[in-house]
Chains A and B, each alone.
Chain A
């Protein structure tokens, strides 16, 4: 047990650096893997919401309502509760309820609906005149999605996934507190529970660096693809 004054933050000789790097690596791949899955699922869900919105067909209307309902429900559940709620589901899908892998299902379930809404907004912002022009040239609905909707909303899709990725990093830390590994768990068990504030600070700094890196990368790509 170390000293608990302010100076405790700087007792870096108490920090096991290889552990920090391992935890950072776990956080990073948890985040990247869930971002990839969230991006794919979110675009599909967002597309579904966009395409079914405003339809006059009653079946399509019901589909839109159901998808919208689930998106709103999962967006509303606080992440720490969602993780616990999904434990049995995680057990079935992953075969475990602890470890970085076990965090993925709840990370995806919480972030995909959020990103789906951002995708829907991005698609709604695409100039309807351009879409009409594409149809007037004989484009099929899929061609409009691939060649107009996605390219024309790309800056918004990229900045949306950046925001989502950053909140996912926050979620991984929360998941870490109940056994998912990564910097969250490091800060919680090796830092808080072991009265080792230097580890908590180290974990914080590394997480901030990861967040900044994602933000920088996201901004860079957004700028690169935006030709407006």
Chain B
């Protein structure tokens, strides 16, 4: 279990003091995948670097399985670091070493015998799907392959914790998915605690059990992913969640919406949000049966599973045409069915 208690970190700069982390409290259970989301400069990287002592807090306590990390130094700190694997946005591989030698690197630091290093590195290369590329140099690999090497290297010393610092941010969407699959597989197979920092909400949705949102060094919201996604409290959290589920702002949809508004200026553009089991109910059909004089055009629709895969969010963008009182009635009906409605354009 990881416990961060009242953590603050202040940097001295020429412009004065900067509070990179401000009084953060966080508990991560063993085996959990914990996402920390926020824009760059929010303090996420500084915060997670306190877990392996790359940064030391100005005040507060960092505990891993009851051991204070923030008071360790020298060999004790180095031994502690060997129990925590870390992967990076820019992979941070040694270009002077082959794939196999890169994976062996942490084991060299731990003084593991050469024969054992080679054997284990080969196994890890197989695990991440690079068994046939062990003698390649990083320069010969694609971004996704480099990150796989990074993951294999991070696992070389059998860590209890894996820290992922924007590990997919430099990758294209498909490669990102492959890397996330791999991380999911590792989490399940090795029962590893994984801390993920990212600014991409879909990474959290795919992988994390819990999520914490950081802004200006403060932890502004935290909780199980399903709760935070369906019922975000803070403005920033809503923005992150919407960036993931709300597709209404893509150029295509904007264009079609504008066309429809021009064609039917009296129509109402409405977004409907369905939570949990609502996504499986024929709510829209019932609404149309109830209000047969309302005409509906669908602009965009999507559905996302969240976190534990038990929960889901559906969104639907529609244009409603008809008598104002019928439209009002239809919206009332939806509200009664507890569908979240938001009028985007009043016509």
Question: Chain B 51-82 against A: per-residue CB contact (8 Å), 1 yes, 0 no?
Answer: 01010000000000000000000000011111
> Size range of the interface on B?
20 to 34
Interface of chain A residues 127 through 146 with chain B (CB within 8 A): 127, 129-130, 132-140, 143
Query: B88, A133: Cβ atoms under 8 Å?
Result: yes
Give the interface of A toward B (CB within 8 A): 127, 129-130, 132-140, 143, 147-148, 151-152, 154, 225, 227-228
Query: B54, A147: Cβ atoms under 8 Å?
Result: no
**A140, B138: Cα distance in complex, Å:** 24
In the complex, whether B110 has a CB less than 8 A from a CB of chain A is yes
Query: B157, A137: Cβ atoms under 8 Å?
Result: yes
**Among A129, A135, A148, which residue has its beta carbon within 8 angstroms of that of B81?**
A135
**A130, B97: Cα distance in complex, Å:** 12
15 contacts between A and B (CB under 8 A): A127-B90, A127-B92, A130-B93, A132-B88, A132-B92, A133-B88, A137-B105, A137-B109, A137-B157, A138-B78, A138-B79, A138-B109, A148-B94, A227-B96, A228-B95
**A225, B94: Cα distance in complex, Å:** 13
For chains A and B in complex, what number of residue pairs have CB atoms within 8 angstroms?
Answer: 63
- Given the interface pairs A136-B52, A138-B79, the reply to whether A151 lies near B94 with Cβ below 8 Å is yes
**A133, B108: Cα distance in complex, Å:** 14
Point out the residues of chain A lying under 8 angstroms from B105, CB to CB: 134, 137, 147
Most buried by A among B80, B90, B95, B139: B95
Point out the residues of chain A lying under 8 angstroms from B90, CB to CB: 127, 129
In the complex, whether B312 has a CB less than 8 A from a CB of chain A is no
Query: A136, B97: Cβ atoms under 8 Å?
Result: no
- Given the interface pairs A152-B95, A227-B96, A228-B139, the reply to whether A138 lies near B110 with Cβ below 8 Å is yes
- Given the interface pairs A136-B52, A147-B105, the reply to whether A225 lies near B96 with Cβ below 8 Å is yes
CB-based closest 3 A-B pairs: A133-B92, A138-B81, A138-B78
- Given the interface pairs A136-B81, A137-B81, A138-B79, the reply to whether A129 lies near B94 with Cβ below 8 Å is no
**A129, B84: Cα distance in complex, Å:** 17
Question: Chain B 83-126 against A: per-residue CB contact (8 Å), 1 yes, 0 no?
Answer: 01010101011111100000001101110000000000000000
In the complex, whether B39 has a CB less than 8 A from a CB of chain A is no
Residue of A nearest to B97 (CB): A151
Query: A137, B139: Cβ atoms under 8 Å?
Result: no
Query: A130, B139: Cβ atoms under 8 Å?
Result: no
Shortest beta-carbon distance from A94 to chain B in Å: 39
- Given the interface pairs A133-B92, A152-B94, the reply to whether A138 lies near B137 with Cβ below 8 Å is no
